């Protein structure tokens, strides 16, 4: 049987000051596809990085795999001279969550999870063999606990960690941050952030109207275009003449002289009429 050659998913920036490493599959000594990662592949890739690389971003989405491979990857990242930032892109389960702990900074996407549990193995033999295997697993599990506790806050005691791992626990970004397992949560930009797009603000307002589900896409598009022309006119820009089709509510031309209308366009009487007209269409 021939094992396929698997390329490491590691890319260096154009200026060779940073690198991105992707661990998006199983952690295994026998990689079967280009998503799997072995300790040998990672170690070789790190060793071949240019000396100018000062930061490595490790993107993780993995159910885990072999403990020995994962611990070796964890130690290879920890011993590298560059700053390591680990990023949980989806799941970082089992030994993959230990690799996540290798980061000097450990970032979880707001829609991602860690999963912590005790080591397991397939075992055959007599009662003595099974008792020894249980003791061995306790020792192996300590490797993971050491990695977690190296960053733990006071809220994550050893006793608490024992309970978490015994229960095979899924850990949310907020909980990981509280326990010290993560240093930051990456969230989408706040929708209340300043915006220069009138269209974006208008569409946001439209989605808040109670009856917009009854408005066709064509009606909504015409409505947005109408408001944009009003805003442009208020800013002193020329507004093209538009034939009155009767599909849109009338506007009050007396408000054109209101100097504050642009800043307050969502509250202006003309636009309020437009919004009212839109929300009442069924």
Q: Where in the chain is the domain with CATH 3.90.226.10?
A: 10-186
The residue-averaged pLDDT of 177-186 equals 97
Q: Is the pLDDT of residue 144 over 60?
A: yes
Cα–Cα distance measured from residue 282 to residue 280, given in angstroms and rounded to the nearest whole number: 6
CATH class of residue range 10-186: alpha beta
- The answer to whether residues 66 and 28 touch, using CB atoms and an 8 Å cutoff, is yes
Q: What is the pTM of this model?
A: 0.66
Cα–Cα distance measured from residue 24 to residue 70, given in angstroms and rounded to the nearest whole number: 13
The residue-averaged pLDDT of 239-248 equals 52
**What region, left, alpha or beta, does residue 64 occupy, with left being phi > 0 and alpha being psi -120 to 50 degrees?**
left
pLDDT for the residue 205: 56
Cα–Cα distance measured from residue 100 to residue 128, given in angstroms and rounded to the nearest whole number: 35
- The answer to whether residues 171 and 116 touch, using CB atoms and an 8 Å cutoff, is yes
Share of the chain above pLDDT 70, in %: 65
Q: How confident is the model at residue 9 (pLDDT cuts 50, 70, 90)?
A: low
Choice among 93-107, 147-161, 223-237 with the minimum mean pLDDT: 223-237
């Amino acid at each position: 049987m021939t094992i396929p050659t698997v390329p490491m998913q590691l890319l260096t920036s154009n200026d060779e000051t940073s690198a991105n490493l992707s661990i998006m599959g199983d952690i295994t000594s026998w990689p079967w596809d280009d998503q799997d990662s072995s300790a040998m592949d990672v170690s070789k890739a790190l060793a071949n990085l240019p000396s100018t690389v000062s930061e490595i971003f490790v993107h993780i989405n993995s159910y885990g795999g072999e403990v020995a491979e994962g611990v070796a990857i964890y130690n290879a990242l920890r011993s590298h001279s560059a700053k390591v930032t680990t990023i949980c892109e989806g799941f970082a389960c089992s030994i993959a969550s230990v690799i996540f702990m290798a980061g000097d900074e450990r970032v979880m996407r707001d829609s991602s999870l860690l999963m912590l549990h005790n080591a397991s193995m397939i075992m055959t033999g007599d009662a003595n063999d099974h008792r020894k295997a249980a003791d061995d697993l306790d020792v192996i599990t300590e490797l993971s606990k050491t990695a977690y506790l190296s960053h733990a806050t006071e809220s994550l005691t050893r006793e608490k960690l024992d309970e978490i791992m015994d229960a095979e626990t899924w850990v949310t970004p907020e909980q990981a941050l509280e326990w010290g397992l993560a240093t930051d949560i990456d969230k989408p930009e706040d929708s209340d952030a300043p915006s220069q797009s009138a269209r974006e603000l208008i569409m946001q307002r439209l989605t808040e109207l109670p009856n917009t589900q009854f408005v066709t896409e064509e009606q909504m598009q015409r409505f947005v275009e109408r408001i944009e022309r009003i805003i442009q006119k208020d800013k002193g820009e020329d507004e093209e003449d538009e034939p009155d089709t009767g599909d849109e509510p009338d506007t009050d031309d007396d408000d054109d002289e209101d100097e504050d209308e642009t800043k307050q366009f969502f509250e202006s009487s003309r636009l309020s009429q437009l919004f009212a007209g839109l929300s009442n269409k069924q």
